[in-house]
Structure 1
Amino acid sequence: MASGRAGPRRQPMSLAEAGPGTENERLGLVRLSMLQNPLIIKPELGKPMRNCYALPGPDFTYGMYMHKRDGGVPEAIGHWDTVKAKAHPRKRVMPRDFVAMGRAAVDEGCTKAREFALYYGYMDIRCKDKGILRYGGKVPPGMTFGKPPRPPTPFFDLMQHRYKELWMEEQRARTRVQHMMKKKIGEVRENRTSFLRTHPLPVKEESFWHLRRFEKAKPHLRTFPDPESRQKALSASH
């Protein structure tokens, strides 16, 4: 007995083929979509599976249709199929580079808007065309194609664990900065009372009370031999 998948796939089943006694017999309303659904249709015994997609008619052309134009030698002589030459690529007009022009204007000493406008009209600097190779331009001098080589591996630093020491120094510096920041945050702001405890005000010297009419009067008697003795006596009385 042949397998259900043996042989090429056949055309979709029609309503006439799904008659009584077949594997795909349907009761009630029968729709054409039932015979085109691969989840509903059942394989037929001893026959290859059917294709559930309707194919176009015999007059259908697969692929691109080419009109025939075979007129022999006269057709070949009178209609040459030549490849048209590509037009010369016109030069691409790049936008103005105002950044470079502004930098050059500042170097020349321009400071006012009118001076900048005059300089822009005199000096015309265009942006560089990065896609110059795509538009048929010449390769600029000094241009290198490809990826630049990677720098050499510093085996001497690796053997001496230089990168470890640099990392440890960075960690120590970061720890010191974090400690200082935490110390600044933890400080308590002083008020006037605590500030006066640590920075007392200077003691104001007391002066004896005098009548206003005697404020400008000078002493007529000097009972102390010198000013130091007078200050010593006054300090002892307080």
Structure 2
Amino acid sequence: MLRNPRILKAELGKPQRNCYTLPGFDFAYGLYIERTDGGVPEAIGHWNTIKPRTGLTRNMPRDFITMNRGALKAGYTTAREFNLYYKAKDIRRKDDEYSRFRRSPPKVPADMTYGMPARPSTPFFDVFQHKYKELWMEQQRALTAALRVEKKKKDKLRETRTTILRKQPVPVKEESFWHLPHLEKVGPHLSTFPDRDAREKAFSAAHREVPARRGPLPQDIQAVS
């Protein structure tokens, strides 16, 4: 009866049973993993520690003043003796001597006051007299005037080369064909017309017949409609 949840009845003052049998008190829940690292004795015997990083020491420049003074006191005078002394006693400058403030200290004025400046007092008179309102209105008027001027500049059409040439056209150069200088004043050697009037009449008649003739050059036969 206690193993079938369908016929199991609820007990007074107790939670509903799930009808499962639990193992004994010596049962270990979970997944058993076989230890392969040796446990606590192995950890104590072989403790893997991280070596601390050593601080990066800056290689300071040589203190040639001190080395030159020492070389002179030792009685060295030549360049070779000085170089040998530099190799024997390599004296470096100290860190505080090479600091930025020692090399170039900041220039501070004599009347400088350190700390944060005090907050300025509230201008009550300007608030009572509506001065900020007047300043704002003046700024708005100036802004409106600037926008109006800019709009006028945009509305004005910019003249192009075409419009300028329409107003002021370029004068047309008269083309003059080049002639040989020794043939400019030479008259015609052949004239098929009896006189000048006959020549002009013939040319005027040919000009009147241009619309009625065929061909790319109006010199062919007349077109018959």
Q: TM-score range by the shorter chain?
A: under 0.3
Larger RCO (alpha carbons 8 Å, 6+ apart): 1
Q: TM-score, normalised by structure 1?
A: 0.26
Compare the two structures and name the one with the higher helix fraction: 2
Question: Quick check: which has more Rg, 1 or 2?
Answer: 2
The alignment's TM-score, normalised by the length of structure 2, stands at 0.27
